[in-house]
């Protein structure tokens, strides 16, 4: 039997953590609970989870700091689950590397559904992407430009000849833009295509992810990610 996928739950409210663990266990996940922020990183390194549910307000290291530290070395999917519902909190969480943000109180079935959706997109296998823009195998979704290869089939990015750690939503957004070069997309179009029509966030989510992509991938002489003022973004070929 295949190994169960592992979820690390970081929440100082033991009742909430137990409830989440119960629902995930019913869905055949293996869980581990941590109630102190200072224990989160050691638990992450030891447990090697497939996804993390992370509260923000914790004793010891807070959720923002935990997210920042994990993103230095891993693209494991992170869902922030917090009572902090201000736009600033959501944007900051996304800027630091979270893939999703849910507000307490929450629906357990929705949380499980979001975890499953993230896990479906996060099977990362680091290997060189095909050298041609159009792959020979039509089942492989991959695209390549000078210095950049993005493979949506195995969720890998090769930048300047080296594998690049990139969370699923950033990779999907980059692939979507690069797959339609020179075509401008509005923020609403990008939000709907990458996050889905029922995503509760706003278009600033797109801006946050573009910012994070640009911090990792610099423009080159052959292409660049361009802001189309008043509209959105496009991946522009310069030659």
Assign residue 207 the CATH number of its domain. 1.10.10.10
The reply to whether 160 and 109 lie within a common domain is no
With 50 as the cut, is the pLDDT of residue 222 above it?
yes
With 80 as the cut, is the pLDDT of residue 203 above it?
no
Provide the number of structural domains found in the chain: 2
Structural domain for 113, as ranges: 6-120
Task: Indicate the pLDDT class of residue 125, thresholds 50, 70 and 90.
Answer: very low
On whether the CB atoms of residues 46 and 113 are closer than 8 A, the answer is: no
Q: Report if residue 105 sits inside a domain.
A: yes
Greater pLDDT, 24 or 141: 24
With 90 as the cut, is the pLDDT of residue 72 above it?
no
Assign residue 13 the CATH number of its domain. 3.40.50.2300
Q: What is the pLDDT of residue 198?
A: 57
Q: Average of pLDDT values for 127-146?
A: 55
Q: Report if residue 1 sits inside a domain.
A: no
pLDDT tens profile 90-104: 888 888 888 888 888
The reply to whether 14 and 98 lie within a common domain is yes
Q: Average of pLDDT values for 68-75?
A: 84
Q: What is the pLDDT of residue 122?
A: 64
Q: Report if residue 93 sits inside a domain.
A: yes
Q: Report if residue 48 sits inside a domain.
A: yes
The reply to whether 116 and 40 lie within a common domain is yes
Greater pLDDT, 44 or 134: 44
Q: What is the pLDDT of residue 126?
A: 33
pLDDT tens profile 147-202: 899 988 888 899 988 888 888 888 999 999 999 999 999 988 898 888 875 565 56
Q: Report if residue 126 sits inside a domain.
A: no
Q: What is the pTM of this model?
A: 0.60
Q: Report if residue 35 sits inside a domain.
A: yes
The reply to whether 35 and 104 lie within a common domain is yes
Q: Report if residue 137 sits inside a domain.
A: no
């Amino acid at each position: 039997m295949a190994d169960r996928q592992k979820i690390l739950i970081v929440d100082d409210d033991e009742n909430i953590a137990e409830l989440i663990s119960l629902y995930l266990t019913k869905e055949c996940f293996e869980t581990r609970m941590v109630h102190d922020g200072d224990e989160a990183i050691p638990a992450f390194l030891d447990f090697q989870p497939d996804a993390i549910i992370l509260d923000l307000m914790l004793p010891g290291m807070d959720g923002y700091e935990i997210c920042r530290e994990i993103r230095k070395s891993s693209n494991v999917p992170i869902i922030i689950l917090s009572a902090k519902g201000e736009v600033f909190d959501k944007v900051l969480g996304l800027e630091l590397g979270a893939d999703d943000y849910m507000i307490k109180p929450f629906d357990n079935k929705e949380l499980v559904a979001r975890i499953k959706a993230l896990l479906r997109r996060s099977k990362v296998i680091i290997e060189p992407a095909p050298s041609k823009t159009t792959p020979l195998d039509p089942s492989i979704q991959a695209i390549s430009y000078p210095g950049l290869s993005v493979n949506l089939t195995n969720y890998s990015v090769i930048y300047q000849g080296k594998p690049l750690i990139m969370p699923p939503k950033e990779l999907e957004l980059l692939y979507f833009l690069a797959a339609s070069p020179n075509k401008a997309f509005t923020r609403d179009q990008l939000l709907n295509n990458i996050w889905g029509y029922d995503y509760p966030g706003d278009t600033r989510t797109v801006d946050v992810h573009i910012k994070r992509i640009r911090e990792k991938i610099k423009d080159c002489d052959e292409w660049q990610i361009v802001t189309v003022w008043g509209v959105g973004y496009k991946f522009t070929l310069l030659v």
